[in-house]
Structure 1
Amino acid sequence: MVLNLQSNIQLFHNYLYQVGYAKKTQHQLKSMILEFVSHQNITCFTEVNQHHIKNFYCYLQTRPLRRRDGSLSPSTIRQFVFALKTFFEWMERSGQIKYNPVSGIKFIRKSNKRTRHPLSATEINQLFSAAENLKERALLHLFYSCGLRRSEAMLLNTRDIDFTEGLLYVRKGKGAKRRVIPLTKNVIGDFEEYFITTRSKQKYKDRLADDAFMLTYAGRRMGCNSYYRQFKKILGNSGIEKQEISLHHLRHSISTHLLHAGMPMELVRDFLGHSELSSTLIYAKADKAQIRSI
């Protein structure tokens, strides 16, 4: 049975939901496939070939932004590529196409990103010393000690931290990946003290914040902006003079520090939730000896 385009795309959206992708990602990937279909005038997915994929990829290099001036960032273009790969791999696995048009294509990666340098151990200590309360220490632990992404911290619930076993569960990581992060005695101690003395006494304002591990002072689940503002406050009190330090710097920093402490690259990959070692190599600053050992 041949399904029409809209039915295929809706089934793909249902698949993303079933395997655990975040709602924002579900919508984003679906929209990107719709844009591909529209731009390439696709009438049937069985007729899509590498020519369509390559043409669309070339178009993305100059495709203007819709809400402001400028063109797509390299990371957004990579997200389009991810959407195409995920969609056609799903189509192939589900038997709707016999040939995956994306397979075998090598996409040229361009990046205009400035290099993100990890913080030193001294600078990390400065941040923790600048934390004024248990909530701020817990925040630093989430992004440094646990290496979480912002989206993962936003979704973190109290039930995701096992205080007895010293484990933190990431149930919906990037690409719907799940992982378990072991916690040191220092980290689990700070988390537990924060939960008992601060979090358990806070009143939440809506159902979505009921089980959230981190709440705003207004009693709502901590979002990206809330985490960012809280971190900037800590950073401002730390005396660190580097410019444009973000929460993501903490994730880069812990991965680099773990490598330099002797943790095998494969374990750092699992800690970060990466699928490929190549991502970890780009992400963390490994020394030459560590790269040769892979």
Structure 2
Amino acid sequence: MRNWSAKIIEHGGSKRIAVYFEKNAKLIARIKCLPGAKWSQTLQVWHLPDHTANRIRFNLPQKDNGLNPDKKEVLTDFRHYLITKRYSENTIKTYTEALTSFLKYYNNKEISHINNNDVIVYQHDYILKKKLSVSFQNQIINAIKLYFGILKNNTIVVEKIYRPKQERLLPNVLSKTEIKKILEAHQNIKHKTLLSLIYSCGLRRSELINMKPRDVDSHRMVIIIRLAKGKKDRIVPLSPKILSLLRDYYKQYRPKVWLFEGIKPGSPYSAKSLQNVLKQALEKCKIQKPVTLHWLRHSYATHLLENGTDLRYIQEILGHNSSKTTEIYTHVSTKSLQNVKSPFDDL
């Protein structure tokens, strides 16, 4: 017998899933671990983002996506598979939305009759005609290969589904001078520490938001990044300057649960607020480039490489699965290029 109930509510201008249960330390600890979980003091209830994975988790009706009943059943089975495989919330959302798009295109065709040529037609007549990105196309293919790879009695040969040619885009990198201007733009110690920690440890935005005070190990001078991309833990070196900044920040703000919290104590700092902190810093130091938080991570990796750090260590620090991902920074490092003399100078 379940000891909770859930329903869709309107809260803070958006739909949320409210979860009701008797006060229980174990249940509170469990719901706190779910991404986006928040406590409403006004409503006296825990609530979560209203998306498909959470609707399935709490046995709520799923949003109508326009699919025929047989396709809806397929999508539900696929979601259950992803959940039991413990894919992240974001991956489940991405893959189910991608597969929904494909199934909707062939809404009136039986699953068992969909073949490899249908995949090609969908890419040509839908993705290319709508001028959708290579990234989106890859997400569709990932979802199709994953679903039809586990489905029996179908006419698709997964191994023959090809991917689009990858774009070879270089990461955006800022100079050390630009980085210094950005990090020194804010007088507010919380804002300064937020941006400084991302750059000094090469963090992803989500890694910073999900960090807790206990993850900072001042004795070993490392920060533990827990359940990062790919559900992997890793450690990154902790700069003495950052440790000093963190201590000053901690004394002033005394966070309760998360290292960086929002306006309400115990709630994590929002991704939107973090982006705004960067935007304000750029305005203050008059940098016109369309800088994102990920540029700080790219800049950190490139500056490490230019300082002579071995690529293997950079790979470990950034949490890359493949060394090929890390090797891209060799193409944006200017250290070697600065030693190349242009023949134009001899004219």
User: When the two structures are superposed, what TM-score results if normalisation uses the length of structure 2?
Assistant: 0.63
Q: Residues 240 and 58 of structure 1: is their aligned pair in 2 closer, same or farther, counting only changes over 3 Å?
A: same
2:110 paired residue among 39, 43, 67: 43
**1:198 equivalent in structure 2:** 253
1:76 paired residue among 136, 147, 157: 136
How far apart are 1:253 and its partner, in Å?
0.5
Percent of aligned pairs sharing the same letter: 26
Q: Within 5 A, what are the aligned runs for 1:172-183?
A: 172-183=227-238
Per-residue Cα deviation, 1:237-289 (whole angstroms, up to 9, x for no partner)? 3x253321121110110111112222232332332222233333346645599
Higher share in helix: 1
Runs of 4+ in 1 over 6 A off after TM superposition: 97-100
Higher share in strand: 2
Q: What's the RMSD between the two structures over aligned residues?
A: 3.5
2:205 paired residue among 127, 147, 150: 150
Larger Rg: 2
Per-residue Cα deviation, 1:154-185 (whole angstroms, up to 9, x for no partner)? 33333333333333333333344443323222
Give the Cα separation in 2 of the matches to 1:288 and 1:120. 10
Paired amino acid for 1:185: P
Give the Cα separation in 2 of the matches to 1:186 and 1:85. 47
Structure 2: which 5+ residue stretches go unaligned?
1-69, 337-347
Instruction: Report the secondary structure of 1:103's partner residue.
Output: helix
Aligned positions, number: 265
How far apart are 1:122 and its partner, in Å?
1.6
Per-residue Cα deviation, 1:66-109 (whole angstroms, up to 9, x for no partner)? xxxxx4233322322333344456x28xxx58998343544223
Per-residue Cα deviation, 1:103-158 (whole angstroms, up to 9, x for no partner)? 35442236597x65311112212222223133123212332112222233233333
Q: Residues 59 and 80 of structure 1: is their aligned pair in 2 closer, same or farther, counting only changes over 3 Å?
A: same
Instruction: Report the secondary structure of 2:224's partner residue.
Output: strand
Give the Cα separation in 2 of the matches to 1:49 and 1:40. 11
Higher-RCO chain (CA-CA 8 Å, sequence separation at least 6): 1
**1:23 equivalent in structure 2:** 89
Paired amino acid for 1:25: T
Structure 1: which 5+ residue stretches go unaligned?
65-70, 201-209
**2:56 equivalent in structure 1:** none
**2:174 equivalent in structure 1:** 119
Moved more, 253-262 or 217-226: 217-226
User: When the two structures are superposed, what TM-score results if normalisation uses the length of structure 1?
Assistant: 0.73
Give the Cα separation in 1 of the matches to 2:140 and 2:84. 21
**1:205 equivalent in structure 2:** none
**2:292 equivalent in structure 1:** 246
**2:270 equivalent in structure 1:** 223
